[in-house]
Structure 1
Amino acid sequence: MVMSYDALDGAPDEALLVAYGNGDVAAARALTLRLTPRALAHAARMLGDRAEAEDVAQEAMLRLWRIAPDWRQGEAKVTTWLYRVVSNLCTDRLRRSGRTLPIDAIADPPAPDPGALARLAEADRAAALQAALLRLPDRQREAVVLRHLEGLTNPEIAAVMDIGVEAVESLTARGKRALQALLEGRKAELGYDDD
């Protein structure tokens, strides 16, 4: 069955994956356009390196296409599966490299056009957050990124990280406290009021 372009926009990820598994190339294109930016953003936040993140996102999408013919709807969400694969690939790369990234290696995310000073302040805040995230232990960073930057729920994060919901809550709470401690002395510098 080949899905019409109108049906592709509102189709759930799982339906698009099953359609691709059954030979619908248009469904694969729609799913790629929908999921690749998310995989890339998640990898970039975990690795702090855009080129490595692109490699990870590409590998994760290739793995998704390989399992498409065997995908069984209702067993897992495609996004949960994809975030888990991206997280595992990033963790593997971080372990193999044994490195920490210098603050200079962190790319500033693009910002809307609120004005030059606001863009500079936002870039400084994003760089400070990224540098602080990279100082967290891997599991805390992963939980915080998935929860507060990717917007996943605690049960979704638990599925991605293969841990219990209580462990997710603990990791995100400890990660947030650590981030707060790392950034506490920089409030004024980053343009935040004491409120």
Structure 2
Amino acid sequence: MPRVADGDSAAFRLLVDRHADRLLGFAQRMLGDRATAEDVVQDTYLSLWRKAGDWTPQARVSTWLYRVARNAALDRLRRLKPTVDPEDVTLIDSGPAPDRGLHDAATADKVRTALDALPERQRAAIVLVHYEGLSGADASAALDISVEALESLLARGRRTLRQALADQRAELLGEVR
């Protein structure tokens, strides 16, 4: 980061190469749209270039990047919320390949739909811990909350997901019978 702060483009490129795929996956899960997620990642790296001098060694670079990406994603969601009809939103399928079977694809779609319905903070916590594999300490730092608050968000998010998936299953079984 100090090299990036000094304008070293090779150091910047190294950070981009190291983190771009994971940040894109995180942003896409937060937003449900690849093109918007790519914009968020681009904004994140622009912030990195401009504010590298503000980074402190107490924070891991990845944690700092996730925090910037999360804030950029939330800004996009807030801007889009009043003008987007939830019925018109097309989700990008990042689930299993078609040859994995219709059941797997249907399950992934149900989980994705339930995840998208979570409140933003719960969704971010679940995505960082379960999809991105961050530790509790790193995820809480990325969200700028305590580890206890993260655990609370995770517990509420998991409970809501379980209930939503159980409701979907009950609906399906009710239709089949």
TM-score (norm 2): 0.84
> SS of the counterpart of 1:105?
coil
CA contact (8 A) 1:109 1:123 kept: no
Do 1:100 and 1:134's aligned partners in 2 also have CA atoms closer than 8 Å?
no
Q: 2:30 aligns with which of 43, 46, 51?
A: 46
Instruction: Answer whether contact 2:33 2:90 (CA < 8 A) is retained.
Output: yes
Alignment of 1:139-158 (within 5 A): 139-158=121-140
Cα deviations by residue, 1:29-77 (Å, 9 ceiling, x for unpaired): 22111111111111100000111101001000111111224544x2211
Alpha-carbon distance in 1 for matches of 2:43, 2:157: 28
Where does 1:25-174 land on structure 2 (aligned, <5 Å)?
A: 25-72=9-56, 74-98=57-81, 99=84, 101-102=86-87, 105-109=90-94, 111=96, 116=99, 118-174=100-156
Displacement, 1:106?
1.2
Structure 2 gap segments, 5+ residues each: 173-177
The Cα shift of 1:110 comes to 6.0
Alignment partner of 1:180 is 2:157: no
RMSD between aligned residues: 2.5
Change (3 A) 1:19 1:110: farther
Structure 1's 29 and 110: CA in aligned 2 closer, same or farther, altered over 3 A?
Answer: farther
Contact 1:107 1:127 in 2 (8 A): no
The share of aligned pairs that are identical, in percent, is 46
Closer, same or farther: CA 57–100 of 1 in aligned 2, 3 Å: farther
Within 1, Cα distance between the matches of 2:138 and 2:41?
19
More helix by share: 2
| Aligned residues of 1:43 and 1:57 also touching (Cα < 8 A) | yes
What letter matches 2:155 in structure 1?
A
Q: How many residues align?
A: 170
